[in-house]
Every structure is written in C-alpha cells, then in structure tokens.
Chain A
Amino acid sequence: MVIILQDGSEVPVFKQIRNQIVMGISDGRLQPGEKLPTVRALAEEIGINSMTVNKAYQLLKQEGYIMTDRRNGVRVRESFRMTPELPLESKEQLKQLVSEARVRGVSQEEFMALVEEYFSAGQRE
C-alpha cells in the first residue's frame, strides 16, 4: 500500500500516517491480519523519526485497528470490535465538511452522492 504524506499540512505527520492506514483498512488495500512494517522499518522508509511512527501505531492500537505482539510484530486486526458509531472528533469533522459544502453551494443530493461514492468504494472485500 502506498501512503501519501503532506509535508506542509496542518495535520501532524503521525495523524496522517494513522489516517492513511485507516483508509487502507477501509478500502481493502490492507487486509485483516496483514502484517505492517515495524516502527523502525517504516520510519526508515518514510525518512522520519521513529518516534512519529511509534505515536501513530500507538494511536491505531488504542483505537483497535492494529495489534502488536512480540512474535508476529504489527498486524491489522482480524476483526474490529468497535461500536458502530463515529467518535466525537470525526462527527465534528463531518459537521465542518457539511457546513463548507453548504456555504460553497453544494446541494444535499450532490453531497450525499459523494458520500455514497466514497462509502461504496471503501466497502471491504
């Protein structure tokens, strides 16, 4: 899977890594149980500090997307035991997006069509 990081972004790099991995899991580029690179290897490959990658992995682990153990390293969870509800932060982001779309004159139908497109494209196989 190719991850894309924006150097000049306001979103911190560890958050960008976390978001990219969540997107990868969502659209099937990362399969359940798939092995992820170690903290050191990923930091070396991106060319950033390993603390940043470690922070991203800690967050993903805390949120229940990945699991780590000594024998198998870092892996995507086989199943996600999460409540089918968006966290508060994501809800806020969605609210912001809807507001922006409304200000720009995007109709509700157009907005919903986009949501549907992204949702179905991200259906896991």
Chain B
Amino acid sequence: MSWVNWILVICMYPFVLIMYFCLKNEGHDPKKRVYYGVSLSKEQAEDQIVTEIGNAYKKQMKRLLWISFLTSVPVLILPSFSIAFTYWCFWFLFVCFVFFWPFGIANKKLREVKLEKGWTTGEAQPRYTEIKEAAGIRKVKWYHFLGPVVISIACVVWAVLQPRDGREAMLIILAATFGGMTLMFAALAFWMDKEKTAIVSSDSNVNVNYARARKNMWKNFWVAFAWFNTLYTVGILFYQVQESEVTGMFWLLLGLYILFTVILLVWVIQKSKALEERYADKMDLKVEEGDDAHWLWGMLYCNPKDKHTMVNKRVGLGTTINLATPVGKGVAVFLILTLLSMPVLGIWLILDDFTPIQLKVEENCLVAKHVTEKYRVPFEDVREAQLLTKLPNIGRNYGTSMDNVKKGNYRLRDESISCEVLLNPENGLFIRLETEDEIYLFSGFDDTETRQVYEAMIK
C-alpha cells in the first residue's frame, strides 16, 4: 500500500462530502420554492407525495454517500499503482455523477406529479429581466488578473529560453499548461461577470445589490485561484530544474493542488450560503415556473431562446451553462471528454506497467520495444558499448517513470548530459550504448535477457 494511494483517496473525501452536501441542499429551496428542480407553491410543496419524494431522495443520497466511501477502499489495498490509479479514475467519475442520479429521479417523479395533479398550466411562463443597470454590474477588472497573467507568460517565455539540454520540452509543456490555466481562470472570471442579473425581488435595488455581492464573491474566487495557480507554476518549474529528484514529489504537489481547490470551494460555498441568508427576507419573487421545461433533470439548462451561455443556477451555488448555445455545447463536450480521458490515462498506465520490455538483436541492430516506444540502434553506429551492473544516477526530462519501467528522455546527472532510456530500474544489469549523437540506456525483461543481448551484440 503506497502513501501516494492514500493521498489520492484522502484528497477526494472532501470532494465527496462537497458533492453530497451541495446536492442535498440543492434538493429543495423553500425560499425560491424550487423542489428537485421543479417549481412548486408553498401549498403544493406541503403535499404528502412531495414529502415522500423528498424522503426517498435523502435516503438514496445517504446510501450513495456510504457507497462512495466504501468503494474508495480498493484504491488503498490494490497492489499495483497503475491498477489502483485506474480504479481511482473510475471512482472519481462515479463520485462526479452518482449524486445527480437521485436528483434526476426526484425531478422526474415530481414533474409527473405536477402534471397529474394539474398543478401546472402547461403554458410558457414569462421571463424576468432586471433593467436597472442592465449589463452594467461588472466587478472583474483587467488589472485583477494582470499579476498572474504576466507571471504566467513570463514562465512560458523563461521555459522557451532555457538551454536545449533535453529538459526544455517538459518545462515548456508545464509552463504552457499551467500558464494556460491562469488565462482560462481569467477568461472564466470575465465570462461569469457578464452573467444576467438574478431576479430575486420585485425591488430593483435588492436585485442589483444581490448581483453585485455575488459577482464580487466569484471575482475573489477566481483571483485567488489564478494567484495560487501562478505560484504553483513557479514552484513546479523550480522543482523541475533541480538536479535531485524527490520520490513522490509529483503526487505530493498534485495533492496540494486538489487540497487548495477543495479549500477554495468550501470558502465559496460558505460565502454563498451567508449571502443567501442575508437576502432571504428580501427575496419576494419565486423562480419562474415556466423555466421547469428548460431544466433537464432539474440540473441542466437548455433554452434556445436564451442567448446567455452562462446562467445562474436556479438553486444552489454558482452558475451553469446553457446547453442550447454553440459555446455551451462546446464547453459541455470539452468537459465530458476531459472527464472520460482520465480512465483512458489509467488504462495506458496499466499497459505501461504490465507490458514487459523486449530487448533483442535483429539484423545487426539492437532493438528495444515497449508498448509504443521502439528504439533501433544499428551496430555500425555504436562507438562504445558497456554492460553496467548499477543504474547510473538519472533524472527524467520527459517520459515515463514507474517502479518497473523508465522510458523517454532522461538526464545523466553525474555527466550533465541527456540520454534515451528504456529499462527496468528493478533489474541489476543495464546496457549503455554511445553513438555519434546519442547515448542509450537499455535493459531487457530481466538480467538474463540483458546479458544474452549484450553478448550477442559483442560477438
């Protein structure tokens, strides 16, 4: 049982609790008179059948919470990291979606009840728009993100200007990925700032002040996230250029990132709850009934007549996207693909972990193969060949580094030069080849194979 597995699981527990409590609370909002995504009057909400649906929902949610915790245990006990990680990816997807299931069921049942009992007219209901300060409430200014954006761009420029010693590719990838995330956070902040003013009251001043407070809260959230992400980028680049490699540092940093994200989410949930409570007495308008039809399963907004891509959630925290707009569709596809790519990554790791390295001599060439990697070194190009009994001190520039396989471009720390690597670090014998313009480090499936290949090559 590795401590990395513990980090993976423990970092996810707060996320499970957040999902559970958010959806549990979003189930019904008596102030806005929305119950499982269906608008009901006070009298309708007191009906026995609504109470029964609510009780069944709570029971199912509790059951799923326990199932979520229990199903995380295999991550801690599975012997192979790649299998444990793949399982964790599937578990993550399960946690992301599972709590929406009872909500969708409750929504479907309640809509049927509403129709059966004749609580709905079935007619299209009005759309409310606050015209006081229309499209004028903006809390995000360009200078809020100036620092993080400038530092992130500087990181990318710095990575590009690094000497071409094999490490630059990884540095550029890291700087561009994390720097890109800072830009994405800034873009999201501006996007959310353009959101339509929520109508909570017949008093325009209440609507405007509520919108200001909400937008200010989200501005602070994105600014904090952008700054953390920027500092994280600087930290991770600094770690990358160090000559010494700390075991498990990558996972520790990943854990830190998840932890900060969770802390920030908890903060924004608390703030949002406090805001709702502050305005509770002033909210005298219930959510429009006609919107029921635009909320698929009570959660997903899809209204072709609304041009807004980012819309306020009917109940609960934050915003959601309008799936009817082209941008909304694009964002939804991107999110789904991102989430689905996680298990694919896990399966790739299993392949890397369990596929044995093949090392053989073929037509006067030394051939090393593993999954998609293939090296072919002609004997005539080899200037020097050595059989090493100890793995040299190497650090990864880019590539794979697992317990039983290291492959890609690595740095020979003692010599400060890069080399191509495909070996099992758990072995005791390694072949070092030097050609005109490259150094290679190989090993076979086991020491016998490595020795046999080396001897065949020497002949």
Q: Does B131 contact A (CB under 8 A)?
A: yes
Complex CA gap A80/B124 in Å reads 35
Contact B199 A5 (CB under 8 A): no
- Proximity bits, B405-444, A CB within 8 Å = 1, else 0: 0000000000000000000000000000000000000000
Kindly provide the distance from the CB of B203 to the nearest chain A CB, expressed in whole angstroms. Answer: 9
Interface pair B124/A37, CB less than 8 Å apart: no
Report the minimum CB–CB distance from A115 to chain B (whole Å).
Answer: 23
Q: Which of A41-49, A90-98, A99-107 contacts B (4 or more CB under 8 A)?
A: A41-49
Q: How many angstroms between the C-alpha atoms of A47 and B135 in the bound complex?
A: 10
Bound-state Cα–Cα, A65 to B199, Å? 26
* CB of A68, distance to nearest CB on chain B (Å): 16
Please tell me if the beta carbons of B199 and A41 are within 8 angstroms of each other in the complex.
no
A2 with B207, Cβ < 8 A, contacts A40-B135, A42-B134, A45-B135 known: yes
Say yes or no: A41 contacts B123, CB within 8 Å.
no
Give bound CA distance, A4 to B126, whole Å.
Answer: 6
User: A3 to B123, Cβ gap below 8 A?
Assistant: no
Closest chain B residue, CB of each to CB of A9: B124
Interfacial chain A residues near B134, Cβ < 8 Å: 37, 41-42, 44-45
B202-227 contacts to A (CB < 8 Å): 202, 204, 207
Contact partners of B125 in chain A: CB under 8 A: 6
Q: Tell me whether A3 and B131 are in contact (CB under 8 A).
A: yes
List of B residues within 8 angstroms of A7 by Cβ: 124, 126-127, 290, 305
State the CA gap A3–B197 with chains docked (Å): 12
The answer on a CB contact under 8 Å between B131 and A36 is yes
**Alpha-carbon distance between A8 and B308 when the two chains are bound, in angstroms:** 19
CB distance from B117 to the nearest CB of A (A): 23
Q: Once bound together, how far apart are the Cα atoms of A15 and B132, in whole Å?
A: 19
Q: B348 on the interface (CB 8 Å rule)?
A: no
Question: Are A47's CB and B131's CB within 8 A?
Answer: no
Binary per-residue interface labels of chain B (305-324) against chain A in the complex, 1 for a CB within 8 Å, 0 otherwise: 11110000000000000000
In angstroms, Cα B127 to Cα A48, docked, is 12
Interchain CB contact under 8 A, A1 and B204: yes
Give the contacting residue for A47; candidates B123, B196, B204, B290; CB below 8 A: B196
Q: Are B132 and A1 in contact (CB under 8 A)?
A: yes
Q: Report chain A residues within 8 Å CB of B133.
A: 37
Known A45-B196, A47-B306; judge A5-B129 contact (CB<8 A): yes
The docked-state distance in angstroms from the alpha carbon of A29 to that of B130 is: 12
CB pair B307–A45 under 8 Å, yes or no, is no
Residues of B within 8 A of A36 (CB): 131
Q: Does B136 contact A (CB under 8 A)?
A: yes
B window 296-336: CB within 8 A of A: 305-308
**Which chain A residues lie closer than 8 Å to B202 at the CB level?**
2
B260 within 8 A of A: no
Cβ-defined partner of B136 (8 Å) among A6, A8, A41, A48: A41
Tell me the nearest residue of chain B to A24, going by C-beta: B131
Inter-chain contacts of A45 with B (CB < 8 A): 129-131, 134-135, 196-197
CA distance A37 to B131 in the complex (A): 7
Asked if residues A2 and B135 are in contact (CB atoms below 8 Å), the reply is no
Given contacts A45-B130, A47-B306, A47-B308, contact A2 B136 (CB under 8 A): no
| 18 more CB-based (< 8 A) A-B contacts, given A2-B207, A4-B127 | A1-B130, A1-B204, A2-B128, A2-B131, A2-B202, A2-B285, A3-B128, A4-B126, A6-B124, A6-B125, A8-B123, A37-B135, A41-B135, A42-B134, A45-B131, A45-B134, A46-B127, A48-B307
The 9 closest A-B pairs by CB, nearest first: A8-B124, A37-B134, A41-B135, A45-B134, A47-B307, A44-B135, A4-B126, A47-B306, A47-B308
Which A residues have a C-beta under 8 Å from some C-beta of B?
1-9, 29, 36-37, 40-42, 44-48
Question: 23 A-B contacts, Cβ less than 8 Å apart?
Answer: A1-B130, A1-B132, A2-B128, A2-B204, A3-B128, A4-B128, A5-B127, A7-B305, A37-B131, A37-B133, A37-B134, A41-B134, A42-B131, A42-B135, A44-B135, A45-B129, A45-B130, A45-B134, A45-B135, A45-B197, A46-B127, A47-B196, A48-B307
Chain B residues within 8 Å of A, Cβ to Cβ: 123-136, 194, 196-197, 199, 202, 204, 207, 285, 290, 305-308
